[in-house]
Structure 1
Amino acid sequence: MKRFLYTLLLGMAINNASAQTQLKMTPELLWKLGRLGSENLTPDGKHLIYSVTRYNMTEAKSEAKLYSIPVTGGEVTTLTNEPGSKQVIKVEADGRIIYFADDNIWQMDAAGKQIIKLTAEPLKDADNIQISPDGKKIIYTIDVPVVKILGKDRYEDLPKSNAYVFTDLNYRHWDTWEDGKFSHVFVADYANGKVSNAKDIMANEPYDTPQKPSGGAEDLIFSTDSKSVIYVCKKKFGKEYAQSTNTDLYQYDIAAGTTKNLTEGMMGYDTNPAFTKTGDKLAWLSMKEDGYESDKNDIVIKDFKTGNKVNLTEQWDETVSSFRFSDDGSRIFFIAPKNGTEQLFQIDLRLRLAPGSPQAIKQLTKGQFDINGIVAQSGNTLFVQRADLNHATELYSLNLNDGGMKQISTINKEIYDHLPMSRVEERHIKTTDNKDMLAWVIYPPDFDPAKKYPTLLFCQGGPQSPLTQAYSFRWNFQLMAAQGYIIIAPNRRGMPGHGVEWNREISGDWGGQPIQDYLSAIDDIAKEPYVDKNRLGCIGASYGGYSVYMLAGVHNNRFKTFIAHDGLFDLKSWYGTTEELWFANKDMGGNYWDKDNKVAQNSYAKFNPSNLVDKWNTPIMVIQGGKDYRVPIEQGLGAFQAAQLKGIKSKLLYLPDENHWVLKPQNALVWQREFFNWLKETL
């Protein structure tokens, strides 16, 4: 009923507004958009079950509801109305939905009725719950105490102590201080909701599964025969953990209680294990170099019948984001960045070509959009997630015979039908080393080429993250353009989707060619008669924030204003306070005290923004999260303090409870309002 009233009132508001004028994208409207998640195909292939998260800005809370829709589109059935989030565990052959909510396993029928709580005792604090293929076992993860770090754990007579005692590195990670607890995988007997004989298969190990901070259920799976569990883990501790990306796949034999490493000797990230339905093959994503988080991600497959292991994408000049086996195991569908987008590809395992041969790879989709998730397959139809710079993620069907796509879900139709869209153009720019660089240009919805517009250079983070057609709820180009700005977003050096060499070229050269690429982009767009050359701004976060700080010292008065979010300002202090040191060691070239390391010495001297503050002369807004341990607080404070002491117009937006992102709804609205207020003041 609440959902009906929300839709009715929003629809009335939209209709009343559209009678006079079309809607304009605003921060408030952006946060009214529903966000797709948790997709499942029913066993009969007729319906998709999915969740939509919406935010209540007054209460600063989110609510995720489950819905069902025919695979051909059409009428949506609301399955849940209760507050709180739900995690779908399994859809049974008869349509019953097994899901997890409020620490319990529940069951409902295909219409969302006849809800029954299955668990007699709650699975307190459990996550990543999966039921085995034969329905007799269950796995889940729980944080368990392993190492005594807290003062109250080390000294039982001091229960009110809040002290931490560390003797090794990795004392904090992402946004959390290490407290001695680690996420472990549990396996238990399961019978119609009854969970018994639970066993911690990582007992006493100071290691995490899933991988923190962003790992999830993809880090642990049952084997097809339900006899073993495969899980992803980096079995390293302290300094070793902080300087390595070497995760491995471990296979736990449930009956024998033994564990073996399936990827021994594979030194980079090994993640996302997946079996064929017959269980004869296991595939996963693999990187080769330890300590290089943005190395080329390949698909490796192991045939258990022959024992052969093959890198399927070794000779392909791109990196893989995610993959899924076809239902019959003859193909692998995968997503990869390609020319400023994320597209769907397939590897045909039936083709008898050389291992890893690019001739076995076929691109299935092409267009000005991102495929950002593979949901399921039904015959010759693949169900995927799709988004673009004007539209948040929706469900689509893809015809594998002819490549035709059809939108299934219409989560935000009632808003988008009344919202003018921005024109998005692909632009190609010559760099200072005479290479071709792609950039996205986003225009205001009412763009008039006879007028002049303020223009923003967007600097992407990562630094080796793709800049594609992804729809962001913070750095939202549709929102920026709706306020009257042109945005240019270049795929500068370091971004995947343009070949492995282009992706690698940023390591050890943060302040070199990538910064020149940014200057090439703004200089190129500034030649257009509709760009106001006296009103150019520069914005970015993370490495993008670093780029803003660097450009503030080398832009030669191109820009009128800057905004930097969680950017790296002083590389020496950053190296001494960031947590995942493998990142700094790879991208800086090493530590700052090794005088014989020329790459590192160059990074800390020539590419250090704090060394260029004497050249700063332009208004700058600094945004900093208080719980950002990747780019800790002294980075933002140092930049703001430098600007203030130089007498430069500057603003600090400090978010004490936010990490490297902005996750709390009201904080996000403050972020958007201050962002645009600053641009109005200074541009």
Structure 2
Amino acid sequence: MQKGRLALGLAALLLVGIPSLAQKKEITISDLMDKGTFRAKSVSGISSMNDGVNYTAFSGSDIVEYSYKTGRAVDTILTAAQLQKFGLKSVSDYEFSADEKQVLLLTDSAPIYRRSFTASYYIFNRTTKEIKPLSASGKQSYATFSPDGAKVAFVRSNNIFYVDLATGKEVQVTTDGKFNSIINGSTDWVYEEEFGFPKAFEWSPDSKTIAYYRFDESRVKLFNMTKFEGKLYPDNYSYKYPKAGEQNSVVSIYCYNLAAAKSTKMNVGNEDNQYIARIRWTKNPAKLAMVRLNRLQNQLDILVGSSADGTTTTLYSEKNDRYISEVTDSYLTFLDNGTQFIINSEKDGFNHLYLFDMNGKQVKQITKGSWDVTDFIGVDQKNGLAYYIAAAKSPMQRELYVANLKSGESRMLSTNAGTNKAVFSTGFKYYISFFNSTTTPMLITLHQATGKQIRTLEDNAALAQKVTEYNITPKEFFTFVTPEGVTLNGWMIKPVNFDPAKKYPVLMTQYSGPNSQEVLDRWGLGWENVLAQKGYLVVCVDGRGTGARGEAFRKQTYGQLGKLEVIDQISTAKYVGSLSYVDKSRIGIWGWSFGGFMSLNAILQGADIFKMAIAVAPVTNWRFYDSVYTERFNGLPNDNPSGYDDNSPINHADKLKGKLLIVHGTADDNVHIQNSFEFVSKLIQANKQYDMMVYPDKNHSIYGGKTRLQLYTKFLNYVETNL
């Protein structure tokens, strides 16, 4: 019922006549970047209860327990009034103990880098209704219950601690932690950014041992940033940042036995120039598994060892001619039977799921086909079912599937075409589906594991109705074949009141980085829609190297970052310029981060094609960027100097002809402003004119307060003036 009403509202938008359109409201930058006019509602803080029958979620500041079956509230776990009683205003996250009698509350979090943070944690006792601070000795990071719920481990000041909840006693596990030197229990900058996790410790299943990372950053060189912050004498912030080809941290894995109060070093080999991408505990019996990659990231080994003496054996190995794709949290899953595990691999040319025994022998390839599994959700081990997200129908869409581990048969559970993801209950009896598409804002529904829909949790019908009041033209998907014979996917947003007899200027938007995707069937209103109101055609194309089209398409850019990608964006501009309704003399391009690198390359190497470009936080020389990311896709600088230099914008500055705006934050810890400063130095020496916006104390995302409002207003003004 709600779905039908939603579709009708958007259909009305698309069918309305031109005279009527002229009277509709216009989207403003303020709507998008300040007011949140088109922000979709969601369901946050979802956590399944142990019984798999109920779940909890935030309701305002309250944490409420709901029945999956009926949707009715069955209990209120914690109220805003209870928080206020103990001096707390709100909670941003929470975790139940294993017996669900206690809740770990996260408040007052403060970011360090992209994923890392410090926070104040509290323990809520559901029986006594008391809330107590986890520690009185300063903020903590990544506080986590032990599986038996008796203790909580956390990180403070580069050391690991745990608190015995029965006695309140705090125990310090490591003592050598020191900023810019030794890190215990959390990751260094490059691991956090490129392997995607900040918490670097794991409780053993029996709660007797804590496995943890130790990073020795001593040999890593410092990078310096000035933090102004309104001070008369600004601070100099220094942190360890390994650039391509430079030395990384020496990473060790230890297991701390709580009873013996002793740490044992695990044997991960003699090579100190490698990565441990993840650690995981096996099941029945519990041993520690470590996913090891060599420096070039083209060989992966899963090591399994005893926490008692640190000895290890190799469970599984895999090599790749180019690189092993990023290891994520879902890469390695050990089954409770203690005899099998599941990994994903591209060894047949596409990313698929594989079942192995504990001797490292392949039991079964779970998924097969000329398409990629994009996310492994988990395994219903009782019924032998694996759930995953794939781009099997189209690279531009995502579907939810279930695979039978015994028969190998897969079945699609999602029914809506677009972008699907799911959060399952404990025991995999229910799941909450999150669906959206270019014509449907976030639709959140509850389902049985069979796929049968039980009810709608949020349909965003009000948002769907609201957009019908505005001048919005829909995205249109298209494909074209480049002069090299490559088929590329794209979308375009045509100007409001589009007249095919007219010729329009074009702004191309893209990211283009390895395994990324911008051409997806998903909901989103952005400043592209404002541009469409102003008479611009907006185009986005995913070139070679982007995701969900198999390993060969994804990895053909290896060793030459920016070469094929730039060729494809130039080919896109030429294709778009050939359309009867496009003014080929007025084509611009913009992008952020890797997309900024690309927009610079486009206006430099395609100087006669592009009239203007905007580059936000761009990499201008791959020698300036971090080791893990850059070497994964480009190898080592000494082994591949041309791959680093041939397509770095800094080496093409003298080719600039069009108008160029460069934007960067001075506190960008990811892509340092050094990139932009070194590049504009080259422009100056080449006597090239450029425009630049610098954002003091802003990081890679350039946000906070009214910053985004001012930033995107600048973008819009620049396009209107120069395109």
Q: Same fold (TM over 0.5)?
A: yes
Tell me if the contact between 2:80 and 2:90 (Cα under 8 Å) persists in the aligned partners: no
2:301 matches 1:296: no
- 412, 417, 427: which one aligns with 2:465: 417
2:171 matches 1:190: no
- 194, 218, 223: which one aligns with 2:204: 223
- Change beyond 3 A, Cα 1:619–1:517: same
CA displacement, residues 480-505 of structure 1 (integer Å, 9 cap, x when unaligned): 55655433222212222111122222
| Partner AA of 2:208 in structure 1 | K
| Partner AA of 2:567 in structure 1 | Q
Q: Quote how far apart the aligned CAs of 1:678 are.
A: 1.0
Tell me if the contact between 1:467 and 1:491 (Cα under 8 Å) persists in the aligned partners: yes
| Partner AA of 1:581 in structure 2 | S
- Change beyond 3 A, Cα 1:139–1:50: same
Q: Give SS of 1:653's match.
A: strand
- 345, 367, 383: which one aligns with 2:432: 383
In structure 1, how many angstroms separate the alpha carbons of the residues matched to 2:373 and 2:249? 17
Equivalence for 1:255: 259
In structure 1, how many angstroms separate the alpha carbons of the residues matched to 2:256 and 2:176? 12
Equivalence for 1:668: 708
- 550, 557, 561: which one aligns with 2:601: 550
| Partner AA of 1:500 in structure 2 | E
2:124 matches 1:107: yes
Q: Quote how far apart the aligned CAs of 1:219 are.
A: 4.5
- 205, 210, 213: which one aligns with 2:186: 210
- 534, 537, 554: which one aligns with 1:503: 554
Tell me if the contact between 2:654 and 2:683 (Cα under 8 Å) persists in the aligned partners: no
Equivalence for 2:27: 24
Tell me if the contact between 1:133 and 1:224 (Cα under 8 Å) persists in the aligned partners: yes
| Partner AA of 2:457 in structure 1 | I
Q: Quote how far apart the aligned CAs of 1:38 are.
A: 3.9
In structure 2, how many angstroms separate the alpha carbons of the residues matched to 1:407 and 1:264? 52
| Partner AA of 1:417 in structure 2 | Q
CA displacement, residues 492-548 of structure 1 (integer Å, 9 cap, x when unaligned): 122221111222222221232111111222333333334343432101122211111
- Change beyond 3 A, Cα 1:295–1:314: closer
Equivalence for 1:135: 149
Tell me if the contact between 2:47 and 2:55 (Cα under 8 Å) persists in the aligned partners: yes
Tell me if the contact between 2:507 and 2:588 (Cα under 8 Å) persists in the aligned partners: yes
| Partner AA of 1:99 in structure 2 | L
Counterparts of 1:106-125 in structure 2, within 5 Å, are: 106-107=123-124, 116-119=130-133, 121-122=135-136, 124-125=138-139
Q: Give SS of 2:658's match.
A: coil
Counterparts of 1:16-95 in structure 2, within 5 Å, are: 21-22=24-25, 24=27, 26-31=29-34, 32=36, 33=39, 37-43=44-50, 45=52, 48-50=55-57, 71=68, 80=80, 83=89, 85-90=91-96
| Partner AA of 1:603 in structure 2 | Y
- Change beyond 3 A, Cα 1:265–1:423: farther
CA displacement, residues 230-278 of structure 1 (integer Å, 9 cap, x when unaligned): 44666675349935599787654433444454876999765566679x7
Tell me if the contact between 1:209 and 1:219 (Cα under 8 Å) persists in the aligned partners: yes
Tell me if the contact between 2:145 and 2:153 (Cα under 8 Å) persists in the aligned partners: yes
In structure 2, how many angstroms separate the alpha carbons of the residues matched to 1:209 and 1:472? 38
Q: Quote how far apart the aligned CAs of 1:392 are.
A: 7.0
Q: Give SS of 1:408's match.
A: strand
2:671 matches 1:618: no
- 673, 680, 685: which one aligns with 1:633: 673
Normalized against structure 1, the TM-score is what?
Answer: 0.72
- Change beyond 3 A, Cα 1:379–1:586: closer
In structure 1, how many angstroms separate the alpha carbons of the residues matched to 2:379 and 2:449? 11
| Partner AA of 1:634 in structure 2 | Q
| Partner AA of 1:126 in structure 2 | Q
- 490, 505, 518: which one aligns with 2:569: 518
Q: Which runs of 5+ in 1 are unaligned?
A: 1-17, 54-63, 145-181, 352-358
| Partner AA of 2:295 in structure 1 | D
In structure 1, how many angstroms separate the alpha carbons of the residues matched to 2:50 and 2:658? 59
Tell me if the contact between 2:123 and 2:134 (Cα under 8 Å) persists in the aligned partners: no
CA displacement, residues 605-640 of structure 1 (integer Å, 9 cap, x when unaligned): x32323322321111111112122433223223444
CA displacement, residues 56-83 of structure 1 (integer Å, 9 cap, x when unaligned): xxxxxxxx88677664797899954875
In structure 1, how many angstroms separate the alpha carbons of the residues matched to 2:496 and 2:99? 47
- 113, 120, 140: which one aligns with 1:126: 140
Q: Give SS of 2:676's match.
A: helix
Q: Give SS of 2:466's match.
A: coil
Q: Which moved more, 1:648-657 or 1:466-475?
A: 466-475
- How many residue pairs match? The answer is 591
CA displacement, residues 128-178 of structure 1 (integer Å, 9 cap, x when unaligned): 222223221112222x2xxxxxxxxxxxxxxxxxxxxxxxxxxxxxxxxxx
Tell me if the contact between 1:250 and 1:262 (Cα under 8 Å) persists in the aligned partners: no
- Change beyond 3 A, Cα 1:75–1:309: closer
Tell me if the contact between 1:545 and 1:564 (Cα under 8 Å) persists in the aligned partners: yes
In structure 2, how many angstroms separate the alpha carbons of the residues matched to 1:497 and 1:649? 39
Q: Give SS of 1:533's match.
A: strand
Normalized against structure 2, the TM-score is what?
Answer: 0.68
Equivalence for 1:340: 396
Equivalence for 1:490: 541
The RMSD of aligned alpha carbons is: 4.6
Counterparts of 1:269-288 in structure 2, within 5 Å, are: 271=277, 288=293
Q: Give SS of 1:226's match.
A: coil
- Change beyond 3 A, Cα 1:304–1:367: closer
Q: Give SS of 1:418's match.
A: helix
In structure 2, how many angstroms separate the alpha carbons of the residues matched to 1:228 and 1:557? 63
- Change beyond 3 A, Cα 1:337–1:108: farther
Q: Which runs of 5+ in 2 are unaligned?
A: 1-20, 82-87, 109-119, 222-240, 299-322, 352-371
CA displacement, residues 3-40 of structure 1 (integer Å, 9 cap, x when unaligned): xxxxxxxxxxxxxxx9x745636344444237865432
| Partner AA of 2:173 in structure 1 | D
Counterparts of 1:466-481 in structure 2, within 5 Å, are: 466-467=517-518, 469=520, 477=528, 481=532
In structure 1, how many angstroms separate the alpha carbons of the residues matched to 2:259 and 2:497? 66
- Change beyond 3 A, Cα 1:417–1:91: farther
Q: Give SS of 2:584's match.
A: strand
- Change beyond 3 A, Cα 1:633–1:308: same
Q: Quote how far apart the aligned CAs of 1:118 are.
A: 2.5
- 631, 636, 642: which one aligns with 1:590: 636
| Partner AA of 1:455 in structure 2 | V
- Change beyond 3 A, Cα 1:189–1:544: same
- Change beyond 3 A, Cα 1:40–1:470: farther
| Partner AA of 2:379 in structure 1 | S
In structure 1, how many angstroms separate the alpha carbons of the residues matched to 2:464 and 2:606? 38
Tell me if the contact between 1:541 and 1:564 (Cα under 8 Å) persists in the aligned partners: yes
2:417 matches 1:441: no
In structure 2, how many angstroms separate the alpha carbons of the residues matched to 1:644 and 1:325? 54
In structure 2, how many angstroms separate the alpha carbons of the residues matched to 1:41 and 1:464? 31
